[in-house]
């Protein structure tokens, strides 16, 4: 089996180039990958028709946001134990204030989470997770930004949808509680399907892959297909390779290095690397709060490969960096 990774470029587009997901980025070469042969660079004209279709077709809007330019999802953790900002925004008033700050700084979606998914985190009871998230979603809904609920549980997703959430973001890829996909289908909500093995409690214990890039691609494609089979059209699915979830720093780097492969799923891509442990270890920033520069560097590297959405803690800093990155790419102010 062969996989085809577009070698993404920007700037003036040659006549033989193909558009990446219908946007301003393009490619005229692909890297052919397999589990048994060495990688090979081929002209894009040699792409199989199904791969060309998935790589090139425009991505429909999600939750009211067009996917023709990079978008920023701001993280709003209403938990006491999240690895970076646990306990800071538990109360609806504090959460609303932070959501306003992120919106003014450039966030275009707010992701509300009531259960920490850091390595080793314990599961939160359903009632407690609803109590943490639903009031916050109701409080911030008048801001007018799309709201995502970060949960693995169908009851939490239903309560969030009723409170005003417009997207369900499931780190388990709808494997933990398959009924959550039914909630998304019932409310006609878009979803984010992420790759993860095991659960937060034990995902960090000796993760192993035969080929991190291709194993994660295949497993994530399986979860996307399962969501599609549950009644969620692929046009309403964001795909997230799950950087830092059941992956070592080396696994993360192998995936990030060839991230554009994941456009082959035919879905817009979300990248969540903000303040994660590998950024601290490689960037020599032991404290999570000091990892904004490294987080932005990796986010922009993903955007250069065509990622449509980045999930971040440091919204103002990321938005500034993105504005400059786009201005340099296009050679003009937006």
Tell me the pLDDT tens digit for each residue of 85-97: 445 566 788 889 9
- The percentage of residues in the chain with a pLDDT greater than 70, rounded to a whole number, is 95
Note the pLDDT of residue 205. Answer: 66
pLDDT at 244 over 90: yes
Q: What is the CA radius of gyration of the chain?
A: 19
Q: Which of 59, 276, 277, 291 is catalytic?
A: 276
The token pair at 174 is 């709808």
Which carries the bigger pLDDT value, residue 82 or residue 96? 96
The arithmetic mean of pLDDT across residues 183-192, rounded, is 97
With b meaning 16 or more CB within 10 Å and e meaning fewer, what string describes 213-240?
A: bbbbbebbbebbebbbebebeeebbbbb
Q: Report d(CA 222, CA 196) in Å as an integer.
A: 12
Q: What is the mean pLDDT of the chain?
A: 94
Note the pLDDT of residue 334. Answer: 73
The residues pairing with 73 across neighbouring beta strands, listed in sequence order, are 109, 311
The DSSP output letter for 155 is H
Q: Which of 71, 197, 247, 311 is catalytic?
A: 311
Task: Provide the pLDDT confidence category of residue 318 given band limits of 50, 70 and 90.
Answer: very high
Q: Report d(CA 96, CA 295) in Å as an integer.
A: 24
- The percentage of residues in the chain with a pLDDT greater than 90, rounded to a whole number, is 89
The arithmetic mean of pLDDT across residues 269-282, rounded, is 97
Q: Report d(CA 168, CA 183) in Å as an integer.
A: 9
Note the pLDDT of residue 34. Answer: 98
Tell me the pLDDT tens digit for each residue of 131-176: 999 999 999 999 999 999 999 999 999 999 999 999 999 999 999 9
Tokens 């997207």 belong to which residue?
167
Which residues have a Cβ under 8 Å from the Cβ of 54 and sit 6 or more positions away?
263, 264, 265, 266
pLDDT at 187 over 60: yes
Note the pLDDT of residue 86. Answer: 47
CA 40 to chain centre: 28
Q: Report d(CA 10, CA 42) in Å as an integer.
A: 19
Note the pLDDT of residue 204. Answer: 62
Note the pLDDT of residue 89. Answer: 61
311 carries an active-site annotation: yes
The residues pairing with 309 across neighbouring beta strands, listed in sequence order, are 71, 270
H or E stretch including 75?
strand 71-77
The arithmetic mean of pLDDT across residues 49-77, rounded, is 97
pLDDT at 206 over 80: no
Task: Give the residue from 215, 173, 226, 180 showing the smallest Cα distance to 198.
Answer: 173
276 carries an active-site annotation: yes
Q: Report d(CA 148, CA 251) in Å as an integer.
A: 27
Task: Provide the pLDDT confidence category of residue 325 given band limits of 50, 70 and 90.
Answer: very high
Note the pLDDT of residue 88. Answer: 53
In degrees, rounded to 5, the angle at the alpha carbon of residue 240 between the alpha carbons of residues 235 and 242 is: 160
Answer whether 74's CB lies under 8 Å from 312's CB. Answer: yes
Task: Provide the pLDDT confidence category of residue 83 given band limits of 50, 70 and 90.
Answer: very low
The DSSP output letter for 228 is H
Task: Provide the pLDDT confidence category of residue 116 given band limits of 50, 70 and 90.
Answer: confident
């Amino acid at each position: 089996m062969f996989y085809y990774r577009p070698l993404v470029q920007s700037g003036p587009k040659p006549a033989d180039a193909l558009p990446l997901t219908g946007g301003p980025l393009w490619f005229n070469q692909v890297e052919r990958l397999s589990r048994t042969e060495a990688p090979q660079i081929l002209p894009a004209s040699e792409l199989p028709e199904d791969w060309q279709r998935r790589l090139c077709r425009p991505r429909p809007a999600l939750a009211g946001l067009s996917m023709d330019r990079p978008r920023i999802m701001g993280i709003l953790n209403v938990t006491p134990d999240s690895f970076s900002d646990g306990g800071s925004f538990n109360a609806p008033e504090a959460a609303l204030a932070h959501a306003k700050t992120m919106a003014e700084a450039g966030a275009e979606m707010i992701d509300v989470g009531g259960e920490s998914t850091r390595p080793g985190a314990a599961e939160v009871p359903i009632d407690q997770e609803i109590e943490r998230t639903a009031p916050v979603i109701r409080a911030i809904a008048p801001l007018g930004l799309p709201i995502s609920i970060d949960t693995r549980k169908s009851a939490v997703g239903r309560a969030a949808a009723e409170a005003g959430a417009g997207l369900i973001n499931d780190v388990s890829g709808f494997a933990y509680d398959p009924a959550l996909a039914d909630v998304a289908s019932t409310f006609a909500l878009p979803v984010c399907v992420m790759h993860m093995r095991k659960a937060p409690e034990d995902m960090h214990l000796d993760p192993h892959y035969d080929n991190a890039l291709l194993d994660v691609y295949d497993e994530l494609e399986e979860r996307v297909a399962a969501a599609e089979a549950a009644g969620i059209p692929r046009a309403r699915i964001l795909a997230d390779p799950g950087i830092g979830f059941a992956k070592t720093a080396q696994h993360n780097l192998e995936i990030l290095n060839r991230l554009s492969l994941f456009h082959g799923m035919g879905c817009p891509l979300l990248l969540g690397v903000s303040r994660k442990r590998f950024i601290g270890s490689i960037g020599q920033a032991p404290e999570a709060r000091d990892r904004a520069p490294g987080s932005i560097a990796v986010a922009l590297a993903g955007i250069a490969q065509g990622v449509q959405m980045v999930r971040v803690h440091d919204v103002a800093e990321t938005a500034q960096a993105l504005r400059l990155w786009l201005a340099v790419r296009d050679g003009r102010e937006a």
